[in-house]
Structure 1
């Protein structure tokens, strides 16, 4: 039996929590605007409860909708052929196929997957697995103690798809969190065709000026290989744009060198892509902002749907 809408608890804010192996990064948002941002040097739900509660009390919020966004050190993944079973049975079939490739105990594995873009008739999936008990602890804390509603659990690279529209031209996004290697994502029609870390690219903003140009040349080569693979192997239309979400200290130099190396446009991720997005400060929390953008789009779509007059 459906619960009437007026009986359901309504949220007064949104919490977007980015979890990594060493910390939780929290974005508090309300009415589509960022309110506050904190970093908690903990990863467990119990250790994060009090700082989250204090954040809500400070801003006089009581009932958050919550989205968890997992960094790549919080889960394991494996690429597999898609089982030839009905869609509703795929996850269960993958549970057996992946047990030799992922070190999490089967009884403690929370598994999900997404279809990968491939050429020809072969179907493949990317399996994502996290520790079930760890996620259950977070769910219990958020719902039972913080009085929130857990809306969804995402991984960073899939959250970033919200930056792109269905009709956007094929695009490469180069994204770098502080201290990490540059991540290359090739996106077309809100689908992820390629995702990889580019070796030797950690801490671009701190590299010596005499070393950085050669590193950018190596990055350009990796981008070109991705463009060739997308067009030749996957038989997709040519990529038209490379967007940069890298630290401001090196962004202009990366853009200049890549523009000279590649036959496609290279440009920074623009501020208009996200509401109140500041590319100078927000590169590290880009997946959280992208997750918020996805929720805003969903909410707008639902609102528009309710305004459509039914037809007979």
Structure 2
């Protein structure tokens, strides 16, 4: 990561801001060091300004480079055929195509998209849509009130692609943050081929011990189905490894039982993105930390 460009433009730190429906998680970095992590029980820019301003003042910092990372409860998504128009007109065409699939009013919709994997002649895209006014308020607050620069607006699942090298073999990641379901992501050469939530898997770390084995067996079945789909339907090389970014309380048990259930290696995720970051909430902020990684090229296929 080339942080020198921030200082050339007068920026003296980095704010990574994870936005969810219930709260805002903030990591403050200067150079390569995380100075502080705070959680603000708000999602609106106006309600977060005082805490962010105080955080910067506390560390004698004035001009942050800001990256916003949206959790999946901050946007809506849909998959549909890619319009047959020039690339520069795709986003505008999609805005009207998703009117019946996205509940955000068209005039208040901030839309982006990426291509999805296809085995036939039809090219499909996945549309990501968030509330434009909400994002605009954040941009205005960052620039006009915090006196910083808004560099990127990202979504969690695409940030996680940064943790995988372009030359990596096909890999599955199982990731879970507190209170959420296990997220399954299937990555090959920094392309996201599958992304889905595994139902019935919320709060693994607080489940009764007698229930966990059957839940892990169910998760193993969902994993196997995804592995088969990736190889058979998408015609990709077989996955060799499943990496776990799960709460520490259940990680070892999940690893042992899944290893017995599946014919692939199962191991904990180890990544430089969280090396040296000693917070017990490492897994919860993993996508936010991954947003700091500068990949050569990041793309998504599903």
- Quickly name the TM-score band, shorter chain normalised: over 0.9
Secondary structure of 1:78's aligned partner: strand
How much has 1:59 moved relative to structure 2? 1.1
* 2:126 matched residue in structure 1: 126
* 1:226 matched residue in structure 2: 226
Q: Give me the TM-score of the superposition, normalised by structure 2.
A: 0.93
- CA separation in 2, counterparts of 1:179 and 1:198? 13
* 2:74 matched residue in structure 1: 74
Are residues 1:39 and 2:39 paired? yes
Are residues 1:252 and 2:252 paired? yes
How much has 1:121 moved relative to structure 2? 2.2
Q: CA RMSD in A?
A: 1.7
In 1, are the aligned partners of 2:186 and 2:195 still within 8 Å (CA)? yes
How much has 1:274 moved relative to structure 2? 3.8
- CA separation in 2, counterparts of 1:117 and 1:210? 39
* 1:11 matched residue in structure 2: 11
How much has 1:35 moved relative to structure 2? 1.5
Q: Mark the runs of 5 or more structure 2 residues left unpaired by the alignment.
A: 297-302
In 1, are the aligned partners of 2:274 and 2:286 still within 8 Å (CA)? no
Name the CA shift for 1:184/1:67 in 2 (closer, same or farther; >3 Å).
same
- CA separation in 2, counterparts of 1:33 and 1:201? 34
- CA separation in 1, counterparts of 2:166 and 2:7? 35
Secondary structure of 2:292's aligned partner: helix
Secondary structure of 2:219's aligned partner: helix
Q: Does 1 or 2 have the higher relative contact order (CA < 8 Å, sep 6+)?
A: 2
Secondary structure of 1:293's aligned partner: coil
* 1:208 matched residue in structure 2: 208
CA deviation vs aligned residue, 1:77-127 (integer Å, no higher than 9, x gap) = 000111111111100110110011001000000000011122132211000
In 1, are the aligned partners of 2:166 and 2:189 still within 8 Å (CA)? yes
Are residues 1:187 and 2:187 paired? yes
* 1:178 matched residue in structure 2: 178
Name the CA shift for 1:174/1:6 in 2 (closer, same or farther; >3 Å).
closer
| Within-5 A mapping of 1:260-275 | 260-272=260-272, 274-275=274-275
Secondary structure of 2:291's aligned partner: helix
In 1, are the aligned partners of 2:34 and 2:277 still within 8 Å (CA)? no
In 1, are the aligned partners of 2:6 and 2:65 still within 8 Å (CA)? no
In 1, are the aligned partners of 2:274 and 2:282 still within 8 Å (CA)? no
In 2, are the aligned partners of 1:34 and 1:276 still within 8 Å (CA)? no
Are residues 1:292 and 2:277 paired? no
In 1, are the aligned partners of 2:163 and 2:271 still within 8 Å (CA)? no
Q: Mark the runs of 5 or more structure 1 residues left unpaired by the alignment.
A: 299-312
CA deviation vs aligned residue, 1:221-250 (integer Å, no higher than 9, x gap) = 000000000000000000111010110000
- CA separation in 2, counterparts of 1:136 and 1:72? 18
How much has 1:40 moved relative to structure 2? 0.2
